[in-house]
Amino acid sequence: MPPIHPPELASAAATLAAALGCGLLIGVERERSKGDGPARAFAGLRTFALVCVSGAAAALLQHMGLVLIGAAFVAALGVVAYARDRSEDPGATTEVALLLTYLIGVVCVWQLPLAAAMAAALTALLAARERLHRFVNEWLRPAEIRDGILLAALVLVALPLMPNRPLWGPVLNPATITQLLALLLAVQSLAHLCRRLLHARQAVAFSAFASGFVSSTATIATLGMSARRNSSEARLMAGGGLLSCVATLLQMLLVAAAVRPAWLSTLWLPALAGGCVAVVWGVWLVRGAPVGVGGALGSSPHTEGLGAAQGDRMFSLRGAMAIAALLAGIQVLVHALDLWLGQAGVLAGTLLASLVDLHSALAAVFVSSEPPQAGVPWALMLALGVHALSKSVTAALSGGVRYAAWLVPGLLVHTGLCMALLAV
């Protein structure tokens, strides 16, 4: 082995000190969980510290065989300890954590910040044992676990396997469609979990917000029918309908990020400004609703909306797939009109698509055009304006004059602001 110069010696000493700190951090938590007497766990503070330093020392010697031998020794030590455990519930957490601690010591030599982050994350995970068990066994519902597994499989298995190339011109990219589907499901799941943590009027607001990611127009219609049945709910339902429009603007950014990220520089300010107006206006309507209305609606069926969850479900897979398919279909339609009629075809296709679904129209524009092209922002403005008018008519027909009177002004103001900022 060549001689070690002072700068290298100082660096090696710092690495070993960092490995010692990582091992002590993890070991403190394991020592508290070790227990007393003959049934106590086999590894505690000193063992974890020594194992982490051993991993760093083996890596410093730059001999991969020695690193592998050390890992095999720690793994064998864990197997023996597990086999000798005579407790009623012999878990393998400490044994696995000990091997990971050794690997953290090795990583200290290669990437010290990464090793420190791994040590902190491992310690937090070990310390949260009781809370995690209660969360999984008591708080989570069976349908939520199934939906979570499905979403994880979509993101971790299906998405990487999808071919990332358009099948016709710039449209029908399987990876892009799958990514959009995963985004829809993830946002619906987040909104569902927020709804689980809140009550009363907040549940109405988050339910409408979650439903907006599936269809803001359908959400406005559903809440309008509820307002027609009970006129005292008109203001609260209008607030929920306006908050569903916030989801529309957020989903516009998600669609742009999934289809063509270059559009984000054009869209972020109009979406942010319009969304802030819709949030403030919608929250004002919800908070100003008559006392007692929110509590009555907190667990009623219509507050679940059309979005993520009916009952225990975190998302509507069928609804999200329908939206993804609609987006892809209208992209094909607008691309075909673009090839046939040019820019006039994009505008005509956008007008037709926005009557059905705003995001389908926008996705088609994003795919068919680049942000700098002249005249393209007018297609976006046209889509936003037509969609706002469609929602206004839907509100009046489904909820009546009182419901529309509360909802339509906020709808037109935040849409008009978006259109004005796009024109700048």
Backbone angles phi, psi at 168, to 5 degrees: -150, 110
**Neighbouring residues of 382: CB distance < 8 A, sequence distance ≥ 6:** 347, 350, 351, 354
DSSP 89: S
- In a 13 Å sphere around the CA of 66, the CA atoms on its Cβ side amount to 11
**Which contiguous run of DSSP H or E holds residue 86?**
none
| Predicted local distance difference test score (pLDDT) of residue 387 | 79
> Looking at this protein, which amino acid is placed at residue 157?
V
Residues in the chain: 424
Contacts of 410 (CB under 8 A, 6+ apart): 238, 242, 277, 278, 281, 282, 285
Nearest to 244 by CA among 219, 221, 269: 219
Helix axes 234-259, 264-287, angle to 10 degrees: 160
Buried residues in 320-355 as b, exposed as e (16+ CB within 10 A): beebbebbbbbbbbbbbbbeeeebebbbbbbebbbe
Provide φ and ψ at 375, rounded to 5°.
90, -20
Give the phi and the psi of residue 171 in degrees, each rounded to 5.
-115, 170
* DSSP conformation class of 3: P
pLDDT at 198: 61
Q: What is the pLDDT of residue 231?
A: 76
| Residues in a beta bridge with 168 | 171
The Cα–Cα gap between 386 and 380 comes to 10
Alpha helices in 233-375 (DSSP H): 234-259, 264-287, 293-297, 317-341, 343-356, 358-368
- Report how far apart, in Å, the C-alpha atoms of 304 and of each of 212, 222, 312, 313, 393 are: 11, 10, 10, 10, 23
Show pLDDT as tens, one digit a residue, over the chain (424 residues).
Answer: 555 555 567 788 888 999 999 999 998 888 887 656 555 566 778 889 999 999 999 999 888 888 899 889 888 888 887 777 666 556 677 888 889 999 999 999 988 889 999 999 999 988 887 787 777 777 777 777 888 888 888 888 888 888 888 777 656 778 877 877 786 677 667 666 766 666 556 666 777 787 777 667 767 877 787 788 777 778 888 888 899 889 888 888 887 887 778 888 888 888 899 999 999 999 898 888 775 544 333 333 333 333 333 456 777 777 667 766 766 776 676 667 666 766 565 556 566 555 555 656 666 667 666 665 545 577 778 778 877 887 888 788 888 889 999 999 999 999 999 888 887 7
- Across-strand partners of 171? 168
**Residue 326 structure tokens:** 């609609």
pLDDT of 78 reads 81
State the DSSP code for 262.
Answer: G
The pLDDT value recorded for residue 55 is 92
pLDDT of residue 295: 39
Q: Are 55 and 102 a contacting pair, CB within 8 Å? A: yes
H helices present in 61-92, as ranges: 64-84
